[in-house]
């Protein structure tokens, strides 16, 4: 599938400049803190050094004549010595704090860049996925749109277009529009699968299965396919509408990829806190080369294209998988080409 190289490059360029800006902000915070601490440290230490000068009188020169009760002068040499030592101490402190801040700047720059990259990585991945999704969707939309345009252009150029020809063109247009509608619904469904927006509660599995079967029975009857419901009376934790949709997708596929007059069976198994629901068909099966890809968006097995009348877009199983992951459950498949497939849903028991 053709990928959109340009938007990905632009996204990366945008992100790298965002990384730089975020790293700058982190570095600014680190440096403000480091300089702030240094100033406080300097002031406190400089004051402390100032207190090292002995009080007046202690630096007086010891004099044998000092016995007339008048105040004595400080010893200027000793005073000078103390002041010089204090000035040296303050200069040394200033240099140490300067080196410390230069070090903080260098280490901070590396740490800031690392933190900025780490913060932006999930956003980068989400954006890549978004770009890929839009690119895949546009690619899928282009094919039916091109077909519609071509059919209408040919009809328009035909000066002797009869009423029945025109009706054929309109019928084809309606078919294509219906397919586009299905694609748009599928894409919307994928985009809507937001775990946080669904409510989860205890739901009877038989109700979900029953409601899904009601939607599929007409298609199954058209192919004289029997659907056996052997689901046990168990409740699971989930969102009813979403789980029903998973079953409709799986049953729809089971009917579409099965030969007429075959059987589809739904069975349950309980293991610990989990309920396993198997949807077993006797259809065309899935080739080993297709199996790793069938849950990917827009993936369609070649065999299914030729053997089934279904004109899907390869979105059903990816929607089903997304719903199951939102339920902290799973969807797995076991298939033998020519014999049939078994899709298994793993759900949490409400019991
Ligand atoms: P679609 O059916 O629209 O192609 P899906 O995502 O539902 O898209 O299925 C993806 C592919 O998985 C199908 O194209 C088909 O090759 C394969 N598949 C799904 N279910 C079955 C099944 N029950 N039997 C055989 N093949 C199946």
Residue written as token pair 């599995």? 205
Contact 284, 308 (CB under 8 A): yes
Residue closest by Cα to atom 13 of ligand 1: 300
The confidence score (pLDDT) of residue 149 equals 92
Question: Ligand 1 in contact with 252 (CB < 6 A)?
Answer: no
The confidence score (pLDDT) of residue 1 equals 45
The region of weakest confidence among 78-92, 242-256, 326-340 is 78-92
Q: Which atom of ligand 1 is nearest to the CA of 318?
A: 6
Q: How far, in whole angstroms, is CA 129 from its chain's centroid?
A: 8
> How far, in Å, are 205, 235, 237, 269, 349 from residue 275 at the CA level?
10, 9, 10, 6, 6
Residue 285 Cα, ligand 1 centroid: separation in angstroms? Answer: 9
Question: Ligand 1 in contact with 294 (CB < 6 A)?
Answer: yes
Contact 327, 346 (CB under 8 A): no
Predicted TM-score of the model (pTM): 0.69
Residue 21 has pLDDT above 60, yes or no: yes
Residue closest by Cα to atom 12 of ligand 1: 294
Residue 240 has pLDDT above 80, yes or no: yes
Q: What is the pLDDT of residues 83-113, one digit of tens each?
A: 888 889 889 999 999 999 999 999 999 999 9
The region of weakest confidence among 8-22, 164-178, 290-304, 314-328 is 8-22
Confidence band for 69, pLDDT divided at 50, 70 and 90: very low
Torsion, Cα of 41, 43, 46, 51 (10° steps): -110
Q: Which atom of ligand 1 is nearest to the CA of 281?
A: 23
The region of weakest confidence among 58-72, 140-154, 276-290, 325-339 is 58-72
Arithmetic mean of pLDDT over the chain = 87
Q: Which atom of ligand 1 is nearest to the CA of 319?
A: 6
Confidence band for 222, pLDDT divided at 50, 70 and 90: very high
Confidence band for 51, pLDDT divided at 50, 70 and 90: confident
Residue 296 Cα, ligand 1 centroid: separation in angstroms? Answer: 11
Q: What is the pLDDT of residues 280-292, one digit of tens each?
A: 999 999 999 999 9
Q: What is the pLDDT of residues 113-149, one digit of tens each?
A: 999 999 999 988 888 888 888 888 888 888 788 888 9
Q: Which atom of ligand 1 is nearest to the CA of 301?
A: 16
Residue 189 has pLDDT above 90, yes or no: no
Residue closest by Cα to atom 14 of ligand 1: 300
Q: Which atom of ligand 1 is nearest to the CA of 254?
A: 23
Confidence band for 2, pLDDT divided at 50, 70 and 90: very low
Residue 304 Cα, ligand 1 centroid: separation in angstroms? Answer: 7
Residue 215 Cα, ligand 1 centroid: separation in angstroms? Answer: 18
Question: Ligand 1 in contact with 283 (CB < 6 A)?
Answer: yes
Question: Ligand 1 in contact with 253 (CB < 6 A)?
Answer: yes
The region of weakest confidence among 51-55, 62-66, 137-141 is 62-66
The confidence score (pLDDT) of residue 201 equals 94
Q: How many CB atoms lie within 10 A of CB 223?
A: 14
């Amino acid at each position: 599938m053709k990928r959109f190289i340009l938007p990905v490059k632009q996204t990366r360029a945008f992100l790298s400049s965002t990384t730089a800006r975020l790293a700058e902000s982190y570095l600014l915070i680190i440096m403000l803190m480091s300089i702030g601490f240094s100033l406080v440290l300097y002031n406190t230490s400089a004051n402390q050094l100032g207190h090292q000068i002995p009080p007046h009188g202690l630096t007086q020169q010891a004099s044998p004549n000092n016995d007339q009760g008048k105040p004595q002068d400080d010893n200027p040499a000793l005073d000078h010595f103390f002041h010089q030592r204090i000035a040296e101490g303050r200069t040394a402190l200033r240099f140490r704090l300067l080196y410390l801040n230069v070090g903080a700047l260098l280490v901070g720059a590396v740490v800031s860049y690392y933190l900025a990259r780490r913060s932006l990585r999930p956003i980068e991945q989400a954006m890549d996925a978004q770009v890929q999704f839009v690119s895949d969707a546009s690619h899928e939309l282009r094919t039916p749109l091109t077909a519609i345009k071509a059919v209408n252009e040919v009809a328009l150029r035909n000066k002797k277009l009869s009423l029945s020809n025109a009706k054929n063109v309109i019928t084809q247009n309606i078919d294509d529009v219906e397919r586009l509608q299905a694609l748009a619904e599928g894409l919307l469904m994928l985009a809507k699968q937001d775990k946080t927006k669904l409510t989860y509660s205890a739901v009877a599995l038989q109700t979900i299965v029953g409601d899904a079967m009601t939607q599929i029975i007409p298609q199954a009857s058209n192919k004289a396919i029997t659907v056996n419901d052997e689901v046990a009376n168990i409740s699971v934790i989930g969102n009813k509408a979403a789980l029903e949709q998973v079953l409709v997708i799986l049953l729809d596929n089971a009917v579409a990829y099965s030969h007429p007059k075959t059987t589809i069976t739904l069975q349950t198994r309980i293991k610990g806190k989990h309920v396993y629901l198997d949807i077993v068909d006797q259809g065309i099966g899935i080739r080993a080369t297709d199996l790793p890809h069938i849950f990917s968006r827009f993936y369609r097995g070649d065999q299914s294209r030729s053997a089934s009348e279904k004109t899907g877009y390869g979105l059903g199983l990816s929607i089903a998988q997304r719903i199951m992951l939102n339920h902290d459950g799973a969807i797995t498949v076991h298939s033998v080409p020519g014999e049939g497939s078994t899709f298994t849903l793993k759900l949490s028991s409400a019991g």
